[in-house]
Structure 1
Amino acid sequence: MRCIAAFVLLHCASAFVAPTASTRRSHVQLHAAAVIEPAKDVPKLLEKQRATVDALKGVAPDFSEVALLRFALAFPTQSEAATALKETLAWRSGAGSEIVAKAGAAYKEAFATGKWNNDPVREGAPHAKTINQYITEKNILTMSTAEGDLVYVIRASLIDDTKMMRQVSVAQLTEFLLYVKEIHALVADARSARTGRLCTVVFANDISGISQIPDRKFSQALTQSSEQYEKLYPSLAGATMIMNLPFVLQAFVGLFTPLFPQSLQDRLKFVPAPYLGKLKDLTPLAGGASRKVFLGELKRLLKK
Structure 2
Amino acid sequence: AKFTKFKMKTAHMLLLLLLWSVNPINAFVGQGRNALRARLPMARMSSQGRSLIQMMAANVPYKVNVESLLKNNRARIDSLAQVSPDVPELTLLRFALAFPNRDEAASALSEALAWRQGEGRSIVDAATEAVAKAVAGGGWDNEVVRLAAPHASTINQYISPKNILTLATAEGDLVYVIRASLIKDKELMSKVTVQQMANFFAYVKEVHSIVADARSERTGRLCSVIFANDITGVRAIPDPKFSEALTSSSKQYEKLYPSLAGPTMIVNLPFVLQAFVGLIKPLFPKTVQDRLKFRSAPFLAGLKELTPLTTSDKTRDSFLAEVKRIESM
Deviation of residue 38 (structure 1)? 8.5
The RMSD of aligned alpha carbons is 2.1
Counterpart residue type for residue 319 of structure 2: F
Q: Distance in 1 between matches of 2:139 and 2:37?
A: 11
- Alignment partner for residue 106 of structure 2, among 65, 74, 82? 82
- Greater relative contact order, per chain length (Cα 8 Å cut-off, separation 6+): 2
After TM superposition, the score normalised by the length of structure 1 is: 0.91
2:308: which partner in 1?
284
1:32-71 aligned within 5 A = 40-71=64-95
| Aligned residue number for residue 191 of structure 2 | 167
Deviations 1:30-58, CA, capped at 9 Å, x for gaps? xxxxxxx9961000000111111112122
Structure 1 pair 300–97 and aligned structure 2 pair: CA distance change class (3 A) = same
Rate the CA distance shift 1:159–1:261 in 2: closer, same or farther, 3 A: farther
Distance 2:272 2:190 in 1: 33
Gaps of 5+ in 1: 28-36
Matches within 5 A, 1:107-256: 107-256=131-280
Letter aligned with residue 16 of structure 2: A
Aligned to 1:34: none
Structure 2 counterpart SS, 1:58 = coil
Alignment size in residue pairs: 295
Partner AA of 1:3 in structure 2? M
1:110 offset after TM fit, Å? Answer: 1.2
For 1:148, the aligned partner's letter is G
Q: Which amino acid aligns with 2:205?
A: K
Tell me if 1:301 matches 2:313: no
Alpha-carbon distance in structure 2 between the residues aligned to 1:24 and 1:38:
20
Say which of 117, 127, 152 aligns to 1:103. 127
Distance 2:260 2:184 in 1: 28
Contact 2:36 2:211 in 1 (8 A): no
Distance change in 2, residues 1:259/1:171 (3 Å) = farther
CA distance in 1, matches of 2:199, 2:303: 30
Letter in 1 for 2:15: A
Report the 3-state secondary structure (helix = DSSP H, G, I; strand = E; otherwise coil) of the residue aligned with 2:34.
Answer: helix
Q: Retained in 2: the 8 A contact 1:71–1:85?
A: yes
Deviation of 1:262 after TM superposition, in Å, equals 7.9
Larger mean Cα displacement after TM superposition, 203-212 or 102-111: 102-111
> Gapped runs of 5+ residues in structure 2?
1-10, 40-60
3-state SS, counterpart of residue 45 of structure 1 = helix
User: Which residue matches 1:16?
Assistant: 28
TM-score (norm 2): 0.84
Of all paired residues, the percent bearing the same amino acid is 57
**Could you tell me which amino acid in structure 2 is paired with residue 296 of structure 1?**
A
Q: Secondary structure at the match of 2:233?
A: coil
